[in-house]
Structure formats: C-alpha cells, structure tokens
C-alpha cells in the first residue's frame, strides 16, 4: 500500500477557498480532510468541529508546545494550525488528505512533506477579490484594506506552489482541483507497487 499524499489549498482571504474545497470534498468524499484549529471567533453560520475547531489562545499555544501541530501561523492576530495526529493517521493508512491553510502554513507543510502538492487559488483580479471581501459584509474598511495588502504579500509567494487555479467560476475551479488530485494519483511512483504482483515483476 502506498502512503497517502498531502494536498494543500491556500488562497488570499475572500478568494473562495472554503467554497471550492467544500465542493471538492462533496465530489470526492474518499479524500481525507483536516479541520484546522483557530483562535478566532466563529463567523455567522460556522459550526465548531465542521468549519474549524475553535479554541482559546492558551489552548492553542499549549498544543504547539506539546508538538501536536504539524503547522501553525498567526494571521491578522488570530492563530491557525493543523493537527499532526490527524495528518499522520491519514497518511499511514494510505489515504490522501487535503489541508485548507494559509501561505505560511503551506510553506511549513512543504518542508515537512517535500512531496506535498501545493495549490494556490486566486480570483481573476484584485478588483474581484475586493468585491468579494465587501460582499461578505463581515469586515470594516480598515480590515478590508489589511486583507488586500495581505493578498498582495501572499501573491508574491505563489511561485513556491506546484499549481495555480483561478477561481472565476466555482465549478471550473473544482474541476481543476479534482484534475490535480486525479493526476497525482496516477503517478508511477504511487501506482507501480500495487501493480507489480499482477504483472509478475
């Protein structure tokens, strides 16, 4: 049995990452998923344990000190991270796992798992990103400005990713992401061992 693969999807805030990832998971339920931990407050409609594990800052930092996080980062004053145990369990059973994390977390994952597949999701333009941020109606002007500046900084890191998906239409973006997952599953290094016996080699 080949080991599972780590897929990372990162994007600027407001790019539609959660929507695209949720649609991909609905289409491919066999794909593992790690629900991130965060110290930020839930937004309207968010459910603890489904969208995020909402924890206190002290709890989060205790987990970091205990080595329980495979990656973590602070974004706009809030901490986000991924459970090392969840990732390890998925990979050890040969199941691919999808991480929906920020650019800084993606860099940490790449160092720990050099073969990880990193996908950068981006709206078609800065103007469209701004429109989406304003459309959420959850941030004031100052926060929107900070998020746009943050998006510019994150865009500078896009070259470190293995794939770029433009989210102009959700279904098209999901198709592209699904194609990346499918192509990775067809890599010779991942499929050959399971076929050796059938071919008597």
Domain boundaries, the chain: 6-192
| Distance from C-alpha of 159 to C-alpha of 164, rounded to nearest angstrom | 9
With a cut of 60, say whether residue 1 has pLDDT above it: no
Q: CB 135: neighbour CB atoms within 10 A? A: 9
Q: CB 10: neighbour CB atoms within 10 A? A: 26
pLDDT for 168: 95
User: CA 84, 186, 177 angle in degrees (round to 5)?
Assistant: 65
For the chain, give the longest Cα–Cα distance. Answer: 65
Q: CB 39: neighbour CB atoms within 10 A? A: 19
Q: Is 3.40.50.300 the CATH number for 6-192?
A: yes
Q: Kindly report, residue by residue over 105-143, the tens digit of the pLDDT.
A: 999 999 999 999 999 999 999 999 999 888 887 778 888
pLDDT for 191: 77
C-alpha count within 13 angstroms, C-beta hemisphere, residue 85: 6
pLDDT for 182: 94
Computed over its alpha carbons, how large is the radius of gyration of the chain? 18
Q: Kindly report, residue by residue over 48-92, the tens digit of the pLDDT.
A: 999 899 999 999 999 999 999 999 999 889 999 999 999 999 999
pLDDT for 170: 95
Q: How far is CA 19 from the centre of its chain?
A: 12
Q: Kindly report, residue by residue over 139-182, the tens digit of the pLDDT.
A: 788 888 988 998 898 888 888 899 999 999 999 999 999 999 99
With a cut of 80, say whether residue 94 has pLDDT above it: yes
């Amino acid at each position: 049995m080949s080991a599972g693969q780590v897929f990372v999807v990162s994007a600027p805030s407001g790019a539609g990452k959660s929507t695209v990832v949720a649609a991909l998971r609905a289409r491919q339920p066999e794909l593992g998923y790690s629900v991130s931990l965060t110290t930020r407050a839930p937004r309207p409609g968010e459910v603890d344990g489904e969208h995020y594990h909402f924890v206190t800052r002290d709890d989060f930092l205790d987990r970091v000190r205990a080595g329980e996080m495979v990656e973590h980062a602070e974004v706009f004053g809030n901490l986000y991270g991924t459970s090392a145990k969840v990732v390890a369990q998925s990979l050890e059973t040969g199941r691919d796992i999808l991480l929906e994390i920020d650019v800084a977390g993606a860099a940490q994952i790449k160092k720990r798992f050099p073969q990880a597949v990193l996908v950068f999701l981006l709206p078609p333009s800065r103007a469209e990103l701004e429109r989406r941020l304003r459309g959420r109606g959850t941030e004031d002007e100052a926060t929107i400005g900070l998020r746009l500046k943050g998006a510019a900084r994150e865009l500078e890191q896009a070259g470190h990713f293995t794939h770029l998906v433009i989210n102009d239409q959700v279904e098209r973006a999901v198709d592209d992401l699904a194609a990346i997952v499918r192509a990775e599953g067809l890599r010779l290094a991942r499929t050959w061992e399971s076929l050796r016996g059938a071919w008597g080699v």
